[in-house]
Every structure is written in C-alpha cells, then in structure tokens.
Amino acid sequence: MFGYLSPDKPYLYMKDNTLYKALYCGVCKSIGKISGQRARFTLTYDITFLSAIAHNITGKDIVVKKSRCIANPITVKPIAKRDEINDMLGAVNVILAYYKLKDDILDENKGNFKSVIFKKGYKKAKKRYPNVDKIVKDCYQNLVKLEIENSDSIDMVSDCFAVMLKDISKEVFKDKATENTDSLMYAVGKWIYLIDALDDYDKDVKSKNYNVFKNYYNAKDYKELIGKFENEIIVIFSDIFAQISENFNLIKSYFNNDLVLNILFRGIPKKTQNVINKGKENNG
C-alpha cells in the first residue's frame, strides 16, 4: 500500500512499540519465505497494522522470539514468529506493491525496472494466494477505468480501494469477519486512498497525473486547495473517522487493543492533520 498507517509514537506504550517492531519484522520474514529476499524491500507500515488487527480479531496468538534479521545479522531483536496470518499479509504486501508499480508505469512511465525485479516474487505470492491477487487486480482495473474517464467523484474513486481492503480483510479474518469488520476496513481503505491523493496533490498537478481532489476542486496547487476548501476536506475525513470509531467499537477482539487503538484513533487523525497542515505552512 502507501505506508500511511503508523502509530502516534509519543503516545505508544513501550510494550506496544516492541510489539509493533516485532510484527513489522515478522511480516518481513514471511515475505522473504513466500516471495524471496528482494520482495522484502516492498514492506510498508500498513501491513504491520493489518497484522496487529488481524491477530486481535482472529484470536491468533502472536509468538515473539529474539532472532537475527538478514538486514542486520549482528543484532538480536524481538521478531514475531511466522504464522498463517503473516504469510498471507506478506503476500498481500507483495501483490499490492506489484500492482502499485504497474500503476506508476501508467501514470508516470516509471517503476518498470522495479516491476521486473519484483515480478518473480509477485508470481510466487499470486500462486499461493490467487484470491488476493484477483481482489487487487479488480481494484486497479476499476481505478484505471475511472481515471481514464477522468472521474471527479471522490466517493466512487475511493470506493475501489475501500472495497479492496474490505475484501482482503475477509480473506485474512476468515470466519471472524463480520459486517462491522467489513465496514471498518472499508473506511480504513478509503482513508488510505484519499490521504495519499491529498498528500500527492502538488506532485500530481505538476506531473499532470490523475488526482480525484484535483478533478473535484480544480485548485491550481495545494496551497489554494487547503486555503479554499480545508473545511470541506476536514468533513470528508471526519466522516471516515466516525465510521472507523462506530464499527471498531462493535468488534470483538481477543487481545490487548492498545496498539490498534493508537493507530486508528491517534495515528490516522495525526497523519491527516499533518498532511492538511502542509498546505497551511505553504500559505504562511
């Protein structure tokens, strides 16, 4: 994905910071086993969040042990032991990264070399989890269609990514998936897509790439976008926050939720505000 789902570290308990790092390393190791060592470079923080919430919701215990990593073979550190959830999420990460690279090639004619490097790892992930590959493929096909149509519908365009994350979560959560987990992950997926579009506004304007906020608001740059439409944009994201809160509070979890709570209710709003503030700083 895009790497936006991260904790608000000043408010993160030490135990949860250790768990977060262990999960990150655990998924990284799963990627290496599933898709090869090169594919490990595609890992994002978003997948670490999915690992944390998936273990909580499914009741699958996280086994942490101290071991070494290929990136830092000297240091021994806590790493989450490989399991079915992290293996699947490792594959999800690789498949998402591959399609993102293909999308970059369409948008900016860049990423072709990287897509060749990671193609072998992608094929391994696809072979092991074909349903996940189909979900991601369908998402990007729908996105490309809307981009070609030059859609200015924020809801329609963000729906593609939201549905994708919802459907992926159903594959991961299995029989623990509910209407509330579906709605929660739909809202998180919508947020990821929109915060990325907002953050990339100036870059997309300069490169003449598709951006749904650019199409809808037609502001010449990010400074103008935030200067004129900040309140409307805050309403869009506030609605997503409300959906996240409403559904998460109705989901049964089996473990300590402190890490997931931090990311959902502190990390996401903080990242949103940081991106919006970037436009205010430009105004100053």
Which percentage of the chain shows pLDDT scores above 70? 92
Band of pLDDT at residue 102, cut at 50, 70 and 90: confident
On whether the CB atoms of residues 57 and 32 are closer than 8 A, the answer is no
User: How confident is the model over 226-236, as a mean pLDDT?
Assistant: 97
Residue 166, pLDDT > 90, answer yes
**104 neighbors 135 (Cβ within 8 angstroms):** no
CA atoms of 64 and 114, how far apart (whole Å): 32
Residues facing 76 on adjacent strands? 68
Can you give the pLDDT at residue 112? 53
Alpha-carbon gap, residue 160 to 158, rounded angstroms: 5
Q: Note whether 182 and 166 are within 8 A (CB).
A: yes
Tell whether the model's pLDDT for residue 216 goes beyond 80: yes
The candidate with the shortest Cα–Cα distance to 41, out of 27, 21, 55, 56, is 27
Residue with the bigger pLDDT between 32 and 246: it is 246
Angle between helices 130-148 and 112-128 (to 10 degrees): 140
For the whole prediction, is pTM greater than 0.85? yes
Q: How many CB atoms lie within 10 A of CB 258?
A: 16
What's the number of CA atoms in the CB half-sphere (13 Å) around residue 157?
A: 23
Q: According to DSSP H, which parts of 153-200 are helical? A: 154-173, 179-199
Beta bridge partners of 79: 65
67, β-bridge pairs = 77
Nearest of 51, 50, 40 to residue 80 by alpha carbon: 51
In the predicted structure, residue 6 carries a pLDDT above the cut 60: yes
Average pLDDT, the chain: 90
